[in-house]
Amino acid sequence: MDAMIRTAVTAAAVLLLAGCQVLNAPPKVDVAEPTSALPAAQPAPVVNNGSLFQAAQYRPLFEDHRARLVGDTLTVQIVEKVSASQKSTSSIDKSGTVSAGITALPGIAPNSFGRASAAGNSSNTYAGKGSTENSNDFSGTITATVTGVLPNGHLLVAGEKQIGVNHNVDVLRFSGQVDPRAIQPGNSVPSAQIANVRIEHRGRGAQAEANGIGWLARFFLNVLPI
């Protein structure tokens, strides 16, 4: 009997912890997977066509080294600055007045309606104002790996960087689509010239946990104020 009680308590604790994790789950960024090059494949058979040019291994002789094939690396200069603001104001005023009176009726003395009158007033006023402002500034450097080459020659790149200090791990992940013509000398490209950019910068450890809201506080934030 005691064993069954201990098992039930353990199961309840596990479910409680799982529920806490779900309530405080961080939003996910759709970074391309995998963030490294595919496993090395077997070398392709040598084509004895008598030509020095091989499309699968082509690298120009008279240009700086640039990422071109799967497995090549590329330095990404992350400089993202986004700022947006929106303001709106609206107002509505409406008023009305109604008055009526009776002066005479057939068969009734006129002075009987000296005080027979009716009047009404109505007014409606509405005013609304709203504003939204958002500013984001992110900068950094990461070296990504070419994970694929599209038919038009564009490169699919993804990279990940992890830095651990004491009990905290800082994780930076990046993915995007690079036009080879945007690659600058030194095999680098600014993030503003990369399409479909996905950036994730998060931490793991005590510092990241301190920035999260506890499950009980999150529960009350969801139900209050009524």
Task: Give the three-class secondary structure for 74.
Answer: strand
Contact 195, 176 (CB under 8 A): yes
> Quick check: is 14 in a domain?
no
Dig out the tokens for 222 from the structure. Answer: 């969801």
CB neighbour list of residue 195: distance below 8 Å, 6 or more residues apart: 154, 176, 177, 178, 179
Please give the pLDDT value at position 75.
Answer: 93
> Quick check: is 12 in a domain?
no
In total, how many domains does the chain have? 1
Please give the pLDDT value at position 176.
Answer: 93
> Quick check: is 95 in a domain?
yes
- The Cα–Cα gap between 135 and 138 comes to 10
> Quick check: is 98 in a domain?
yes
> Quick check: is 124 in a domain?
yes
- Domain encompassing residue 116: 87-131
Please give the pLDDT value at position 41.
Answer: 45
> Quick check: is 47 in a domain?
no
pTM of the predicted model as reported, rounded to 2 decimal places: 0.59
Please give the pLDDT value at position 164.
Answer: 84
> Quick check: is 91 in a domain?
yes
Low-confidence residues of the chain: pLDDT under 50: 40-44
